[in-house]
Amino acid sequence: MAELRKQIGTRIRAIRNAKGLTQQKLADIASLDYRYIGALERGERNFSIDTL
């Protein structure tokens, strides 16, 4: 399961970068904390379908 979290996190980072968004801007758009976004991108946090 940890590998899947890392793969999804890598994909989130790639999409965010392709759109020219910072972690802070993405967090603002998603109403999340920027530290949570960073942890998601590193595969350190579990997340729900709602968060995705």
Going from N- to C-terminal start, the domains of the chain cover: 2-41
Band of pLDDT at residue 9, cut at 50, 70 and 90: very high
Token pair for 13: 């980072």
Kindly write down the DSSP assignment for every residue of 1-52, as one continuous string. Answer: -HHHHHHHHHHHHHHHHHTT--HHHHHHHHT--HHHHHHHHTT-S---TTT-
Backbone Cα Rg of the chain? 10
Average pLDDT, the chain: 96
pTM higher than 0.75: yes
pLDDT at 1: 82
Dist. CA 1–CA 42, nearest whole Å: 14
* Digit-coded pLDDT (tens) for 10-32: 999 999 999 999 999 999 999 99
